Amino acid sequence: MSFFTHRGFRGFALSCIASALLVAGCSKKAEQPAATPSQPAVSYYKVDPGTAATLTGTVYYKGKAPARKLIDITEDPACVEAHKGKAYDESLMVGKGGALENAFIYIKTGLEGKNFETPTETVVIDQQGCWFHPHIFGVQTNQPVKIVNSDPVTHNIHPVAAVNREWNHSQGPGDAPLNRKFPNPEVMIPVKCNIHSWMRSYIGVLDHPYFAVSKADGTFSLPNLPPGTYTVAIWQEKLGTQEQQITIAPQQHATVDFTYKGK
């Protein structure tokens, strides 16, 4: 009788252990987090090479070209030595034949609904000779921007943004580069150095790659443009903005010129 009682107790105990393990297994399974749904792949717009067009043009200044202003940088002798020459204002640079340099040209409307991939190429801003280089430039939203200080003096870079986040960061000689991005379109963002008041630069931020800065001869080019109807805009820091409407056919080499009238 005791034999069967002993076997019955063993069976009962084994049954309880099995049940406990089963419950524990179910509990662990229930505690596992739900699988995260996979994110849909981002679809980027690609221009059809068979229809891609090009928009070029020239920016002119009509009237007597004003003399460039000499900038006094003598408050910092290290800047005088680093600049290695006289410093002239870059806000209005008129060349031969009235060619206007450093105007920012971009597609303002006509690309709505197209999502363009962000370039991985880094745009570099160099503080050299107590000057920002380049003076005018553009980047795409979230494109890497690297700020370096090549001077033997401390600078600070201060983008006075209205749409993007405003920030202000000092950078001494030999300091590591600053790496930044601008997530929102904004034309234009003034950049200044609070230490050296004459240092100025401007950044155009677009969510597409169709922008350019006019060269010394006033020319610019927007290649690989899909056919369509566009508003082409121009910004110049002293002369303001202009716009033109244009319809571009497939594979067309279209031209848009801009002229600013002097006083």
Retrieve residue 33's tokens: 């987090």
Separation between Cα atoms, residue 149 and residue 138, nearest integer Å? 20
Most confident by average pLDDT, 15-24, 71-80, 229-238: 229-238
Q: What is the pLDDT of residues 45-84, one digit of tens each?
A: 999 999 999 999 999 999 998 888 999 999 899 899 988 8
Residue type at 161 in one-letter notation = A
C-alpha closest to that of 56 among 216, 258, 219, 236? 219
Q: What is the pLDDT of residues 86-116, one digit of tens each?
A: 899 999 999 999 999 999 999 999 999 999 9
Domain residue extents for the chain: 48-112+213-263, 117-207
Q: What is the pLDDT at residue 21?
A: 47
Tell me, which fold does domain 117-207 have in CATH? Immunoglobulin-like (2.60.40)
Q: What is the pLDDT of residues 79-93, one digit of tens each?
A: 999 888 889 999 999
Q: What is the pLDDT of residues 132-168, one digit of tens each?
A: 999 999 999 999 999 999 999 999 999 999 999 999 9
CA triple 158-161-166, angle to 5 deg: 60
66 to 22, 58, 70, 142: CA distances (angstroms): 88, 19, 12, 37
The arrangement of secondary structure in 48-112+213-263, i.e. its CATH architecture, is Sandwich (2.60)
117-207: same fold as 48-112+213-263?
yes
Taking only Cα atoms into account, the Rg of the chain, rounded to an integer number of angstroms, comes to 31
Most confident by average pLDDT, 12-16, 30-34, 257-261: 257-261
Q: What is the pLDDT of residues 4-16, one digit of tens each?
A: 444 454 554 445 4
